[in-house]
Amino acid sequence: MPKDLPDSVADGATRDAERVYRCAACAHEVTRGRWEMAVDGAHERAFFNPAGRVFRVLCFKEAPGAAGVGPATTEFTWFRGFAWRFAVCRGCGAHLGWRYEGDSAVFFGLIKPALAAGSD
């Protein structure tokens, strides 16, 4: 069974490259520690949406177990220069976060409580 995520990650630090991040709803593998990345200086960020709901987001270069759905928009983007679309679990369809798309890069901002971390 996957373990809970730790409370924080040192900026720019990569934890165990083989750490597995799974969907907290269905345990489908979403991404791995080797794809952790810092965006604007931090791997973990806190944001609020227009309704005032706060999200703790972890950033990843790749998330093969997540699919971007819906049209991309720049409305209320948390990352300047990036459009976003929802990211859902390829296993169960649960909302995991967002897929960010820029001119030269794509990355995922995944909701920390929507993930469970552990090893194979």
What is the predicted pLDDT for the residue at 73? 97
What is the predicted pLDDT for the residue at 72? 97
Say which amino acid occupies 17.
A
What is the predicted pLDDT for the residue at 16? 80
- By CB atoms closer than 10 A (0-12, 13-18, 19+), residue 8 is exposed
Q: In the chain, which residues have pLDDT < 50?
A: 1-14
What is the predicted pLDDT for the residue at 18? 85
Looking at the DSSP assignment, which residues form a beta bridge with residue 46?
Answer: 56
Q: Nearest 5°: phi and psi at 87?
A: -115, 125
Query: pLDDT tens, 58-69?
Result: 999 999 999 999
Say which amino acid occupies 19.
R
pTM: 0.84
The topology under which CATH files domain 20-118 is: 2.170.150
What is the predicted pLDDT for the residue at 119? 75
Sheet with 66-73, edge to edge strand ranges: 44-48, 54-60, 106-111, 95-101, 83-89, 66-73
